[in-house]
Amino acid sequence: MRVLPPVARAYILGAVLAAVACVVPAFTDPSTPWADVALLAALYLGCELPSGCPLPGRRAPEGIGSFLPVVLAAVFLLPPEAAALVAVPGGLAQSVVRGPAGVRRVWHAAQQGLAAWTAGHTYGLLAGDGFPYALLPAAAAAVAFCLVLTALDGGVLAAAESRPAATAWRGLPARSLLPSCVHGLVGLMMAVMWRSPYGLPAALLVLLPMYVSCWVFAQYHREHAAHRATIRALVQAVDIKDRYTRGHGERVGQASAMIARELGMADDRREVVRIAGILHDVGKLGVPTRLLRKDGPLTPDERRIIELHPEYGHEIVRGIGFLGEARSAILHHHERIDGSGYPYGLSGEQIPVLARVVAVADSFDAMTSTRSYSRARPVPTALAELERCAGTQFDPEMVRALVDAIGRHGWHPVVTSDADLQVIAADAVDAAHPVPEAPAVSAAPPAPPAPAVSAETVPEAVSGAAPAGRDAR
């Protein structure tokens, strides 16, 4: 369990005392509508309980929590101190990922109570009569609610983690403003229906679809985060096994995405080809490490073993449904346009489009990266070599797309360092946390003192004899 520093404890205590001061007037005011307070508080608590308090023997459904339309409906229906009171039971029931759980739940309740109290006063100052005139005051109340939440969040981060204030608050309002406004609109619709002749049943009909939508949306983001964590874990495993080509997969993914963008592929397909580039060598996990790190030329038998890595890779990812078309690119990225590639000797249009993209990106990075058996070639030299082999080894359209993309945007390769790999490992363990859009980048790590020969593509044609990337490694 994490121990909070004294400054953070004092900050949380101050917020709790302020929240208590906000709700106390509700108990002393005889006009407080206790029936509405109890009903709204029960509704909010009911929205939070599925994630905070699962049934015995069952997992809590992920993605349900912080369902703010009920609290914002209370802001529009009740006095500010009563609205703050509505937020308390649900805040105490919210699920927490890390300890201390009790302190975090009390913090959530105090934070939301203060935000509801502030939003209530904002709405009261601006409120108009009737639905159309309430839109602007409701929007202002939702913004006030958001700003209080983010201000308190930034403050507790600064106090608990000793972050600079500017760093702690950076990005919080921008990420929270739109969801708060959407929740505010739903809360306003709920309040309007509550006060209509149809009463509570109509208000619940407004609430239920939004609740289901929030749950589905959260599930989608958790699944997407899990997909990224899976990819990062596979990349980490390959980089650890073949450490001298660390970062190669990410750079191939980067170059593949550049080609796809130049070809005008849709965003979703461009993401698939980027993932295919990142994972194209995942089959190395099935190749003996001694061959990947062999310091010297491969024997014919060793070469045949190395040439199995596309099939190993396909087997590894075959059961990962979300990879889709990327699986065929992993299997066929060593095929050649003239049919002399492997593993199946496909030629021309028989080779999947994404595999042709990855093949160009793979050889380009192999030529522009330093290996134990070759020094990095200048980008213009590598592009010229790709153009020379276009039509025999590579699809000319893919080569032309890469040449045009680099001519327009330049080549700024990404490299993964040891520190980044530790972050990747942590992300893979906790897939529920969001991850960056692209693999983390940093300065290139220093070359090992005695690097082993990588099982990557060797651009022999640059030195004279064979087409680029002819070596299986």
Which residue has 């300890």 as its token pair?
A: 99
What is the arithmetic mean of pLDDT over 108-124? 93
Which residues have a Cβ under 8 Å from the Cβ of 472 and sit 6 or more positions away? 298, 303, 306, 307, 334, 342, 455
Tell me the average pLDDT of the chain: 79
Least trusted range by pLDDT, from 198-212, 282-296, 387-401: 198-212
Percent of the chain with pLDDT over 90: 39
Nearest to 330 by CA among 309, 350, 347, 303: 309
Give the model confidence (pLDDT) of 317-326 as tens digits: 888 878 888 9
Residue 338 has pLDDT above 60, yes or no: yes
Quickly list DSSP for 56-113: TTSPPPTT----THHHHHHHHHS-HHHHHHHHHHHHHH---SSS-HHHHHHHHHHHHH
- For residue 167, pLDDT over 80 is answered with no
- The answer on pLDDT for 391 being more than 80 is yes
pLDDT in tens, 10-63: 999 999 999 999 999 999 999 999 999 999 998 888 877 765 444 344 444 443
Q: 118 pLDDT exceeds 70?
A: yes
| pLDDT the model gives residue 20 | 95
C-alpha–C-alpha distance, residues 244 and 292, integer Å: 9
Bond into 6 cis (ω within 30): no
Comparison of pLDDT for 434 and 191, the residue scoring more: 191
How much is the average pLDDT of 354-378? Answer: 86
What is d(CA 431, CA 435) in angstroms, rounded to the nearest whole number? 9
Please determine, for residue 378, whether its predicted confidence score (pLDDT) is greater than 70. Answer: yes
pLDDT at 350 over 60: yes
Separation CA 117–CA 19 (nearest Å): 9
Confidence grade of residue 143 (pLDDT, cut at 50, 70, 90): very high
Q: For residue 440, what pLDDT band results from cuts at 50, 70 and 90?
A: very low
pLDDT at 241: 75
State the pLDDT at residue 2.
59
Q: Which residue has the higher pLDDT, 145 or 174?
A: 145
Where are the extended beta strands (E) located within 247-377? Answer: none
Binning pLDDT at 50, 70 and 90, where does residue 128 land?
low
Confidence of residue 1 (pLDDT cuts 50, 70, 90): very low
Nearest-angstrom CA–CA distance, 44 and 5: 31
- pTM to 2 decimal places: 0.54
Instruction: Report percent pLDDT > 70 for the chain.
Output: 78
Which residue type does 254 have?
Answer: Q
Nearest by Cα to 183 from 37, 52, 76: 76
Instruction: Note the pLDDT of residue 407.
Output: 93
pLDDT at 403: 96
Q: Which long-range contacts (CB under 8 A, 24 or more apart) does 240-243 make?
A: 240/421, 241/284, 241/285, 241/289, 241/292, 242/281, 242/284, 242/292, 242/293, 242/454, 242/455, 242/456, 243/448
